[in-house]
C-alpha cells in the first residue's frame, strides 16, 4: 500500500511518522527479502518504516525526500550498486546512517562499502533481533558488525602491507591492524568470535557504551585508511 509523504507519493510511507528521527528506509530489489525487512521494522516498538526502494536509481531520488535516520542498503542491486548509492548520498546527506544488509561477505565488498561511508555491515542471514540491535547501535553512535564480518576484517588487516614489516611500506598510508589501538584490536578479535557487546564489556570490565565507541572508531579508521588508492594497494591492484 502506498502513502503520500508530505504531499509526495512514495511507496510504503506512513504519513503520521513524517519528520521522526527513528525512521528506517530499505533499499532491496528482492521482493521477499524487502517485505521481510519491512515486517521486521513495522513490528518493532521503537522504529518506523520510512519507505522502501527497489533500485539504486529509485533510492537516489527518494531517500533525500524520505530523510530516514537509518537506511538498510543492499549491495547487489540491478543497476547502480548500493555502494555507489551510499557514496553519493553520504556526501550530500551526511546525517543519514547507512547499514549494508547483504549476502556479500567478500573482503573487497566490505571495505568498498566502508570507504563509501557505510556505518555498519551485517549479513542478510542475521536474525531479526540482531538486526534491530544493529539499528539501535547505529543511532546510539556505534557501528554494528556481525561476527562473520569482524573475522573478515581481522583476516584482511593481518594480511595488509602495514603488517608485513617491510621497509618499503614504512611510509605508506597507515593500514592493517597497526592502525588500530591495542584495545580496538582486542575488541575486534572478540567480535570475530561472536561475542556480544555486553559480553565484551564484561570481559574487559568496561561499559557497553565504551565498546560501541571503540567499534565506531574502528569503522572510522577503516574509512580513512581505505580510500580508493589505499583499497587498490590493499588488494594488490
Give Rg (Cα) of the chain: 18
pTM of the model: 0.67
Domains of the chain: 1-142 (3.40.50.2300), 145-163+172-237 (1.10.10.10)
Mean pLDDT for 109-126 is 81
Closest CA to 88 of 45, 118, 65: 118
pLDDT at residue 223, as a whole number: 61
How wide is the angle at C-alpha 186 spanned by C-alphas 214 and 152, nearest 5°?
Answer: 85
pLDDT digits (tens, 9 = 90+) for 34-66: 999 999 999 998 899 999 999 999 999 999 999
161 close to 169: Cβ distance less than 8 angstroms: yes
Q: Report how far apart, in Å, the C-alpha atoms of 31 and of each of 28, 48, 63, 209 are.
A: 7, 19, 19, 36
Start-to-end CA distance of the chain, whole Å, equals 46
**Is the pLDDT at 163 greater than 90, yes or no?**
no
Please determine, for residue 124, whether its predicted confidence score (pLDDT) is greater than 70.
Answer: yes
* CB < 8 Å & 24+ apart, contacts of 121-126: 121/145, 121/146, 121/149, 122/146, 122/149, 123/148, 123/149, 124/33, 126/101
pLDDT in tens, 192-216: 777 777 888 899 999 888 888 888 7
Amino acid at each position: 500500500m502506498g502513502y503520500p509523504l508530505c504531499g509526495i507519493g512514495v511507496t510504503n510511507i506512513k504519513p503520521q511518522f513524517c519528520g521522526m528521527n527513528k525512521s528506517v528506509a530499505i533499499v532491496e530489489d528482492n521482493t521477499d527479502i524487502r517485505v521481510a525487512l519491512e515486517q521486521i521494522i513495522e513490528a518493532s516498538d521503537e522504529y518506523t518504516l520510512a519507505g522502501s526502494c527497489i533500485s539504486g536509481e529509485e533510492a537516489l531520488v527518494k531517500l533525500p525526500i524520505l530523510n530516514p535516520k537509518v537506511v538498510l542498503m543492499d549491495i547487489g542491486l540491478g543497476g547502480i550498486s548500493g555502494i555507489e548509492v551510499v557514496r553519493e548520498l553520504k556526501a550530500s546527506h551526511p546525517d543519514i546512517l547507512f547499514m549494508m544488509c547483504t549476502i556479500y561477505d567478500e573482503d573487497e565488498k566490505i571495505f568498498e562499502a566502508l570507504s563509501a561511508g557505510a556505518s555498519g555491515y551485517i549479513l542478510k542471514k542475521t536474525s531479526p533481533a540482531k538486526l534491530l540491535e544493529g539499528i539501535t547501535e547505529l543511532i546510539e553512535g556505534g557501528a554494528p558488525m556481525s561476527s562473520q564480518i569482524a573475522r573478515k576484517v581481522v583476516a584482511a588487516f593481518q594480511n595488509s602491507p602495514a603488517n608485513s614489516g617491510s621497509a618499503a611500506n614504512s611510509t605508506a598510508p597507515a593500514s592493517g591492524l597497526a592502525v588500530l589501538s591495542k584495545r580496538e584490536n582486542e575488541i575486534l578479535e572478540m567480535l570475530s568470535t561472536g561475542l556480544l557487546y555486553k559480553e565484551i564489556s564484561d570481559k574487559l570490565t568496561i561499559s557497553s557504551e565504551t565498546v560501541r565507541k571503540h567499534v565506531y572508531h574502528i569503522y572510522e579508521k577503516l574509512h580513512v585508511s581505505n580510500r580508493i588508492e589505499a583499497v587498490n594497494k590493499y588488494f594488490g591492484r
